[in-house]
Amino acid sequence: MKAEEHVVSFQSLIFNFQSVRMKGLVIKNTGSWYTVRTDDGRDIESKIKGNFRLKDIRTTNPVAVGDRVDIDINAEGTAFITKIEERKNYIIRRASNLSKQSHIIAANVDQAMLIVTVNYPITTTVFIDRFLATAEAYRVPVKLVFNKIDRYHGEDRELLDGLINLYATIGYPCSMLCARTEEGLDELKEDLKGKITLLSGHSGVGKSTIINKLIPGVNLRTGDISEYHNKGMHTTTFSEMISLPDGGYLIDTPGIKGFGTIEMEGVEIAHYFPEIFRFSADCKFNNCSHRHEPGCAVLRAVEEHYISESRYKSYLSILDDKQESKYREEY
């Protein structure tokens, strides 16, 4: 073969290689880079092409873990993400201190599990309710997993029992877990089997310990609780999908400090609190805000303890978000 033919063949190879388009699943996000697992099982480091933005969503991360995407693989073996397939759902939160922008935590999930601790650190009911309302808005089923049950005695144990009774009565599945001793771990494994599950919660609630128990050898770094603040310290700094031994994926996310809601209109918010929505059907006014209107069935239900005061307080806090266009970090 002549030298010129070698050059032509090599150039053709490069051209053909550059034009390879594949479909895949975004399994990791480390800032500007995304790891895409192609349909033939390869992991390709990818970037967003140009000024790629999604229509109608002002977000700090247009591509999220869990997205199905098209990629163009280049000669170096990396790729550009050129298209995102339509999502069946996603979980979104307000980006910290950016009142008009959002952050997509994960996309295309079968369920979410919120890891809750009544102490060490404290998970507030406002935080739980904001997460639940967002999941309701985007049609993501949620289970509450109460971790560190070996550490709760006296008032802490009473609070645990009260929270489980409250949320189970509303209709949210609840379970108890001690990741350290593995009590409740078998039930958790069964719930995760064959599903894509978002695992979320404050820093320090035990997400990394749970994942290490579920997936031997994954060796995620675990963190301590700040004794002074009784808050967790971040150990996960990016979102990642991790394969489960019995099938399915866990989406591990950085610990969330606050949960600012977004994309909710004032009149819609009650729809995302199932018990408030049920009682609102009997309100005198169709556009009742459930704050002060005469003939409000929700206010009456709160007074008569059919709706818990903590849930009503959470509802008001999200209403205040819409009026003030901001949220406080402790939420």
Number of domains in the chain: 3
Q: In this structure, are 26 and 118 located in the same domain?
A: no
Please, what are the averages of pLDDT over each run of 10 residues along the chain (331 residues)? Answer: 49 53 94 92 90 62 92 93 93 66 88 96 94 92 97 97 98 97 96 95 90 85 46 55 93 69 76 96 94 96 97 93 53 45
Is 92 a domain residue?
no
Q: In this structure, are 247 and 111 located in the same domain?
A: yes
CA distance 313 to 116: 19
Q: In this structure, are 281 and 247 located in the same domain?
A: no
What's 137's domain CATH number?
3.40.50.300
Is 310 a domain residue?
yes
Do 241 and 251 form a contact (C-beta atoms < 8 A)?
yes
Q: In this structure, are 28 and 76 located in the same domain?
A: yes
Is 33 a domain residue?
yes
Is 320 a domain residue?
yes
pLDDT of residue 15: 45
Do 65 and 46 form a contact (C-beta atoms < 8 A)?
no
pLDDT of residue 322: 64
Residue partners of 279: CB distance under 8 A and separation at least 6: 297, 298, 300, 301, 306, 307
Neighbours of 267 (CB within 10 A): 12
CA distance 56 to 218: 37
Which of 223, 252, 281 represents a domain boundary (last residue)? 252
pLDDT of residue 193: 96
Domain that holds residue 126: 105-252
Q: In this structure, are 196 and 283 located in the same domain?
A: no
pLDDT of residue 236: 44
Q: In this structure, are 171 and 242 located in the same domain?
A: yes
pLDDT of residue 267: 80
- Of 63, 61, 133, 48, residue with least CA distance to 103: 61
Dihedral of the CA atoms 77, 83, 86, 92 (nearest 10)?
80
Counting DSSP H helices and E strands in the chain, the numbers are 8, 15
pLDDT of residue 50: 66
Q: In this structure, are 137 and 173 located in the same domain?
A: yes
Q: In this structure, are 190 and 65 located in the same domain?
A: no
pLDDT of residue 306: 97
pLDDT of residue 105: 87
What's 299's domain CATH number?
1.10.40.50
CA atoms within 13 A on the CB side of 84: 21
- Say how many Å lie between the first and final Cα of the chain, rounded: 70
Is 9 a domain residue?
no
